[in-house]
Amino acid sequence: MILLNSDKIHAHLADLNFKKPYELHCFPTIDSTNQFLNNLPTNQQLILCCAEEQTAGRGRFGRQWNSPFGENIYFSGRWRLAGHLKQLSGLSLVVGLAIIESVKKHTINEAILIKWPNDLFWQDKKLGGILIELNGELHGTIDITIGIGLNVNTSSTTSHLSDKPWCSLLDITGISFDRNALIADLIVILNHYLDQFLKLGFETFKSAWEKVDYLKNQWITVSNPNGKLSGYAQGVNEQGLLCLKDNQGTMHYVSAGEATLR
């Protein structure tokens, strides 16, 4: 088992020519990397946090994110970005694309797909999830925490992380990964994608996203605080909103929620 090592992550980031000023916190154990960053009083542009284990790892909708020691990636980044809240539509899809791109750099060429809006899937099993939290918007800057849980070295044949079908990079490839290198790649690609996203909008990512759309043409139900809506998933529009065609042929555009397949 290769443990997390902040010196190694710094060195990888230097090798990758990462120029943005940042602060990195690497913990053996923490309640939640997202919570840690949210609690920091900060004016920093970028603060990063990863941990070997989370004792209160958080998923979406108040769920728990199982985070055993030394095996997977529990990573969060708090970005202060120039922009406005209304520009964030489609953000989770862009984060998903950044995760796929960084995993590909480690010669994983399997079809990893994004289940709108926040989940990474491989062969109908969840590989990872994204939890984005907004800390505030002030004077044209947005302060967000992006949390990523990626199952890396936990084997689904010997461990139990979730009651729902799940998998890890180890399951996919049969190989154990050095999480330090993966995290460094993720930071660089994610930072680059975020810059591009704020400058040019979701539109520039749309065609890449269509290639990894897990729900495409499936009959799904989306639940959110407004209720439930069922229809055929027809990809996303230029704003990253899910296009859902109901039985009457009416198209609905959905910004958030949880999708379940029939």
Give the residue numbers marked as catalytic. Answer: 60, 126, 262
For position 116 contacting ligand BTN by CB under 6 A, the verdict is no
For position 74 contacting ligand BTN by CB under 6 A, the verdict is yes
- In DSSP terms, 141 is beta-bridged to 82, 138
Single-letter residue type at 75:
F
For position 130 contacting ligand BTN by CB under 6 A, the verdict is yes
Pick 75 or 193: Cβ nearer ligand BTN = 75
| Sole window of 6-14, 141-149, 194-202, 242-250 interacting with ligand BTN (rule: CB under 6 A) | 141-149
- Which structure tokens are listed for 137? 């918007």
Rounded Cα distance, 252 and 30, in Å: 41
Pick 31 or 204: Cβ nearer ligand BTN = 31
Please select the residue that binds ligand BTN; options are 96, 149, 231, 257, rule is CB under 6 A: 149
Q: What phi, psi does 155 have (nearest 5°)?
A: -90, 130
Pick 33 or 153: Cβ nearer ligand BTN = 33
Helix and strand numbers (H, E) in the chain are 6, 12
Rounded Cα distance, 211 and 78, in Å: 28
For position 166 contacting ligand BTN by CB under 6 A, the verdict is no
Pick 121 or 193: Cβ nearer ligand BTN = 121
> In whole angstroms, how close is the CB of 63 to ligand BTN at the nearest point?
6
Among residue numbers 25 through 64, which ones bind ligand BTN (CB under 6 A)?
32-34, 54, 57-60, 63
For position 131 contacting ligand BTN by CB under 6 A, the verdict is yes
> In whole angstroms, how close is the CB of 127 to ligand BTN at the nearest point?
10
C-alpha distances (whole Å) from 150 to each of 22, 131, 156 are 22, 12, 13
Rounded Cα distance, 94 and 207, in Å: 12
Q: What phi, psi does 43 have (nearest 5°)?
A: -120, 5
Please select the residue that binds ligand BTN; options are 119, 143, 185, 213, rule is CB under 6 A: 119
Among residue numbers 210 through 239, which ones bind ligand BTN (CB under 6 A)?
none
Q: E strands, 106-237, where? A: 113-115, 119-122, 125-138, 141-150, 219-224, 227-236
Rounded Cα distance, 235 and 215, in Å: 8
Residues found near ligand BTN in the complex (CB under 6 A):
32-34, 54, 57-60, 63, 65, 74-76, 118-119, 129-131, 147-149
